[in-house]
Structure 1
Amino acid sequence: MEATPSTRKTAVEPSPIAPTPHASHELPPAAGQLTAKDVRIATWICFFAWTFAVYDFVLFGNLLPVLAAELGWAPAQSTEVNTWVTAGTALVAFAVGPLVDRIGRRKGILISVIGAAVASLLTAVAGWAIGVVGGLGIVLLILVRSAAGLGYAEQSVNAAYLNELFAHAYSDPAKARRRGLIYSLVQSGWPIGSVLAAASIYLLFPVGGWALCFIVAAFPAIFIVIAGRWLKESPQFEAHRHESHGASPLVEAFRGESLRSTVVIGLSFMLNWVGVLVFAILGTSLLSAPDGKDIPFTNALVILVVSNATAFAGYVFHGWLGDRIGRRNTIALGWILCGASFTAMLLAPSGNFGVVVALYSAGLFFLIGPFSALLFFNGESFPVRTRATGGSIINAGGQVGAIISSFLITLALGAGWTWSTAAFWIGCVPIFASGLLILGARNVHPHHVRQD
């Protein structure tokens, strides 16, 4: 059922970027009460936690070609290792949700960040082990990078936690309209973390190689652990903790009102990630391939600037739009326009840099931006007892979609398809389908604040 507005009024409106005005008119908070300052602090910590988690998560993909060259892997072996890592990441991301629904959101954030940091350190160890024990070292590397899926899972924990804090802080429907925009700024840690990862490789790789990059990536977790002392558990989870527990959160996620959200949003997310792999992860291959768009798009800095600037703008826009027309409708509109943009790019004349890059940027804007609305929509779509579990199942579905897409692209290109043809059927069509399928999810009015 839809959430209903609460009649409780909040004296202040928290902001992640500025102190609350007229704070002197606030009544002193009751003992143990969550204050506007607590919510602002938590918002900042979640932003940095996500930024650092992304930093480690994308580091492996960026450094994989260098690691493969040093260890003497053929391209097929490198791809196989990455596929196994992706599968392991999905399993870890899936497992985090039920744990967080048991132990709490605050502990879940700290476990995710610390786990990703430890995995980053162990990546360097596993890389060295490959040179000593060969195949066993590769197995160790896959296990370690799978554990780094805790960093990827951190976004679903963030979404559940901030959804509940914002529900408490913005219980007045008149103030609820900024929740999605604020969350979109937290989610923008993805492009920021990606830029930091690229910058660290540029600075550290000449000094100590790929291993030093992974070692340094572990240190930001110290900041989050120290800052974690200021995180307060969400009031919704605290209330739920004292209730009698029925079935496990994993079972509950496939029952009652949670079932529709788990299945519909999860399948939409998985389908969309089939397209994400084609255009966001393998985009440079498509753009530069002679049977793709035949663009001499070899400057990695240009690609980085375009993709991450587009992602940041897309997050903020779709967060803002979701506060006005609803998160579900925003996601559907964005992904349908994304499919149209990429289709137009594929139909545009090959070699025309300006037109192709403009349409590619538009496609990324509408592909990546809706994720800020989607992750917050997850929190609105589940009750507190299954919120983290449902979000983690949906989050893990993205990695499943990436595996499916990688398999289909390999199969299609091996069968003689051109990059443009493969990108349309394996990229555009699933993205279109994800935008239509998400409309089957239960709609939630953006000004309704769910308190259960």
Structure 2
Amino acid sequence: MSNIQDKGSWQPAPVTTGQVKYATLIAFLAWTFAVYDFILFGMLLPEIGRATGLDDAAQARLATWVAFGTVVVALCIGPLVDRFGRRFGMVFTVGGAGICSGLTALSGSISTSVLILIRSLAGLGYAEQGVNGAYLSELYSASKDPRLTKRQGLVYSLVQGGWPIGALLAAGLTAVLLPLIGWEGCFIFAAIPSLLVALLAMRLRESPQFETLRKLKELRQAGRHEQAQVVAASNSIQEEGKTGLRAIFSGSARRTTLALGGAHLLNWFPVQIFSVLGTTVLVNVHHVSFGNSLFILVLSNLVAYLGYLIHGYFGDKFGRRNVIAFGWIMGGFAYWAMLFGPSETWIVIALYSIGQFFLIGPYSCVLFFVGESYESKVRGTGASFVTGIGPVGAIIASAGSAAFLDAGQGWLIAAFWCGAVPCFLSGLVVLMAPSAAHTSNPGKAPLETKEKVA
């Protein structure tokens, strides 16, 4: 996987088109089935509650504690990925999602506390998207294929599109399998594809950037410091400085972390209000029937998938940061119009779908942009932090909505202040992130967008 060039300068092996295609396919499957497990728990929570004797309030408390556990686990993944590699991260996260599904099937006979610990492992599956962003941004930037160079964002949008596909799989297969094998069987069935993808991920090629970091560590440990400096310079890698969580809150990375982390946290407010609680908002604000609200959700998710592709395409042309900001700002306006506009069904469908298009679609740019925005040595840590902090926004949004409802304000005001406004603000906050990305391409001379040489 490597070669030694003149004067002791080491270079990782070139990235082949076949390796890029295989990595893209595995990343898509890994994210799809990680989402499958992630969504499945929420769908089957009422069934789990009935089986374990939990009433509605207890189920709500269970979901809250599981959400906290998910965030904690997701935040721990980044340092592991930076230490052991991107390929390890892919295997560990999707395999962890499969194990989580399998263990959940046993939860009918165990305590709620143990169930919370088991479902917290779902944070591995959620963190998988951050690993995807870090790994594929490095692999794509190292590729010499000019077609991929021009369409990196569009290609990644297909990978990130695994979210709606995973959600639809969870809904469709659960409807078919639940009457046949029960909720425990549904989780066992969900574990199988994740574990198979984890096995396939073991054949992935490690990213050239991480291979270079690993080589530099070997050279330093062997006392070959001069050769290490040559390798670092020739591969545009900065190896000095802090690592781990401290590093992403230090120096130039601090601005990136605060802007992207803050924007992602704010954007999970509307995700929680308009995606997770979408039927509740539609029924209570516009008195849409539950059946029609489900139809609106399915239609809007199809529109949102189209949003993935379109935002990914324009992200390559106009810059990912700018496209993300524009989308989320427009999403805030669309949700505001939907909430305060007429209750005619076709108007509600149109405005809600436009909101979903601009809320969900930019995520085809978000994770890839996050991966580009950190240096190789902390790329996994930065990506996992930004993605992991998002669900905290969902927890705050739920608590804020409950406070508005307790005060007698109703869902219209709750959804406006806890959904539409944060969506608009998230677009403004992301503009505070640097637009220049760290997309080093090992073996080539440093360019304006490449990593600094120490």
Q: Which residue of 2 aligns with 1:324?
A: 317
Q: Distance in 1 between matches of 2:200 and 2:52?
A: 38
Q: CA deviation at 1:72?
A: 3.3
Distance 1:44 1:147 in 2: 24
- For residues 90-129 of structure 1, the aligned pairs below 5 Å read 90-129=71-110
Tell me if structure 1 keeps the 8 A contact 2:304–2:353: no
Match of 2:232 in 1: none
Q: 1:10-67 deviations in whole A, cap 9, x for unaligned?
A: xxxxxxxxxxxxxxxxxxxx99432111111111111111111111110001111222
Counterpart position of 1:247:
242
Match for 2:163 among 184, 190, 200?
190
Match of 2:303 in 1: 310
Match of 2:258 among 255, 263, 270: 263
Q: 1:73 to 1:307 in 2, by over 3 A?
A: farther
In 2, the alpha carbon distance for the partners of 1:47 and 1:283 equals 26
1:208 aligns with 2:181: yes
Paired AA for residue 250 in structure 2: R
| TM value normalised by structure 2 | 0.87
**Identity across the alignment (%):** 47
Inter-partner Cα distance in structure 1 for 2:108 and 2:300 = 29
- Equivalences for residues 212-223 of structure 1 within 5 A: 212-223=185-196
Change over 3 Å in CA distance of 1:176–1:33 after alignment to 2: closer
2:429 to 427, 437, 440: 437
What per-residue deviation string (whole Å, max 9, x for no partner) do you get for residues 209-261 of structure 1? 11111010000023213322430000011111223565332211111221111
Structure 1 partner of 2:346: 354
Q: Is the 8 A contact 1:167 1:451 kept in 2?
A: no
Please point out which of 81, 89, 111 is paired with 2:62.
81
Counterpart position of 2:415:
423
1:398-413 superposed matches below 5 A: 398-413=390-405
RMSD of aligned alpha carbons: 1.9
Counting only pairs closer than 5 Å after superposition, residues 38-49 of structure 1 correspond to structure 2 as: 38-49=19-30
Deviation of residue 444 (structure 1)? 2.9
Q: Structure 1-normalised TM-score?
A: 0.87
CA distance in 2, matches of 1:332, 1:343: 17
The amino acid that maps onto 1:68 is G
The within-5 A match list for 1:10-159 is 32-129=13-110, 137-159=111-133
1:195/1:308 contact within 8 Å kept: no
Q: How far is the alpha carbon of 1:303 from its aligned partner?
A: 4.2
The runs of 5 or more residues in structure 1 that have no matched partner are 1-29, 130-136
Asked if 1:297 corresponds to 2:290, the answer is yes
2:200 to 227, 233, 239: 227
2:387 aligns with one of 387, 390, 395: 395
SS at match of 2:291: coil
Q: Which range moved further: 221-230 or 403-412?
A: 221-230
Q: Which amino acid aligns with 1:228?
A: A
- Residue 126 of structure 1 deviates from its aligned partner by 1.5
Closer/same/farther in 2, CA of residues 31 and 317 from structure 1, 3 Å limit: closer
Specify whether residues 146 and 163 from structure 1 end up closer, same or farther in structure 2 by C-alpha distance, changes over 3 A only. Answer: same
Following superposition, the deviation at residue 451 of structure 1 comes to: 5.7
Matched AA of 1:309:
L
User: Residues 385 and 126 of structure 1: is their aligned pair in 2 closer, same or farther, counting only changes over 3 Å?
Assistant: same
Q: Which residue of 1 aligns with 2:139?
A: 165
Aligned counterparts of 1:448 and 1:120: Cα–Cα separation in 2: 44
Does structure 1 retain, via aligned residues, the 8 Å contact 2:12–2:211?
A: no
State the AA in 2 paired with 1:257. Answer: S
| Structure 2 Cα separation of the partners of residues 303 and 449 of structure 1 | 42
The separation in 2 between residues aligned to 1:405 and 1:181, in whole angstroms, is: 31
CA distance in structure 2 between the aligned counterparts of 1:449 and 1:176, rounded to whole angstroms: 13
Q: Does the Cα contact within 8 Å between 2:270 and 2:418 map onto a contact in 1?
A: yes
Contact 1:335/1:367 (<8 A) preserved: yes
1:306 and 1:128 mapped to 2: Cα distance? 38
Deviation at 1:406, TM superposition (A): 1.0
Per-residue displacement from partner, 1:194-213 (whole Å, max 9, x unpaired)?
Answer: 11101111111001211111
Which secondary structure state, in structure 1, belongs to the residue aligned with residue 216 of structure 2?
coil
The equivalent of 1:277 in structure 2 is 272
Q: Figure out how many residues of one structure are paired with residues of the other and give that number.
A: 412
Aligned to 2:331: 338
